[in-house]
Amino acid sequence: MKKLLTPLAFAMALGAASAAQALEGDAKAGQQAAAVCTSCHQPDGGGMNIAGGQSWPRLAGLDADYLYKQLRDIKAGSRQSPVMMPFVSMLNEQQMRDVAVYYSQLPATAGKGGEQASAEDLAHGEKLATVGDWERYIVPCQSCHGPANLGVGGQFPALAGQHAGYIADQLRAWKNGTRDNDPLHLMLAIAERMDEKDIRAVSQWLSRQPAK
């Protein structure tokens, strides 16, 4: 228990520290720069979720520092995203800040599950998100992502109301090691213990939760 809680406490401190530092940017300029983003993330920042297909995340209402970090990581290559790279490469440093601030100020939209989920699956997903499965060393999502999984600062994004397909894709990416730009590799430690049933269940449940 001690080995688990220590990095989690440190990670929460990272989130609290980033929350205290507001990213500086121009939302109006960000709206103009975000024109390259709308084809996938939609004019309202709500993203898209195609059942059984691709999923583009909701950006609206997410923390500006988190969005900015992801843009920087993708541009630097520390987060692999072949789809995003051409678009992010078009943005300079200030534009990335502006875009992040712009999306953070948009009203959060509802997430989409994309597929049917049984009551049993949703109950399992709720348990993983709010209580965890300590017998398998799976920490509850809200221990880092905050009460109601609405996010904590620039390190831990809101999961509630995010599209199920996107959440599931990212959990698989952390599990197989194709994404690793999180603090202390906490997501790898959790995702590698999750099976496909866990991933689908928690993704479906989180997508159905209020985004704000």
Average pLDDT of 88-115? 95
Confidence of residue 1 (pLDDT cuts 50, 70, 90): very low
- What values do phi and psi take at 156, rounded to 5? -125, 100
What pLDDT, in 10s, does the model give residues 104-120? Answer: 999 999 999 878 899 99
pLDDT tens across 127-151, in order? 999 999 999 999 999 999 999 999 9
Could you list the residues known to form a binding site for heme c, using ranges: 37, 40-41, 84, 141, 144-145, 187
pLDDT (tens digit per residue) in 64-73: 999 999 999 9
Question: Does 4 score more than 90 pLDDT?
Answer: no
With 50 as the cut, is the pLDDT of residue 3 above it? no
Measured N-to-C along each axis, helices 119-130 and 196-207 cross at an angle, to the nearest 10 degrees, of 90
Instruction: Report which of 69, 70, 41 is spatially closest to residue 57, judged by C-alpha positions.
Output: 41
Question: Which tops the pLDDT comparison, 23 or 1?
Answer: 23
Q: What are the chain's domains?
A: 2-16+111-207 (1.10.760.10), 21-104 (1.10.760.10)
Do 94 and 137 meet the contact criterion of CB atoms below 8 Å apart? no
Structure tokens at 49: 């979720």
Cβ contact 67:103 at 8 Å = yes
Triad 160, 165, 167: Cα angle to 5°: 45
- Rounded CA gap, 116 and 145, in Å? 25
Q: Which residues are annotated as a binding site?
A: 37, 40-41, 84, 141, 144-145, 187
Choose between 16 and 133: higher pLDDT: 133
Q: In terms of Cα–Cα distance, which of 39, 33, 42, 29 is closest to 88?
A: 33
Exposure string for 126-152, b = 16+ CB within 10 A, e = fewer: bbbbbebeeeeebbbbbbbbbebbbbb
Are 166 and 49 in contact, with CB atoms under 8 Å apart? Answer: yes
Q: Decide if 136 contacts 193 (C-beta within 8 A).
A: yes
Q: pLDDT class for 14, splitting at 50, 70, 90?
A: low
How large is the C-alpha radius of gyration of the chain? 16
Over residues 14-42, mean pLDDT: 83
Q: What is the pLDDT of residue 113?
A: 82
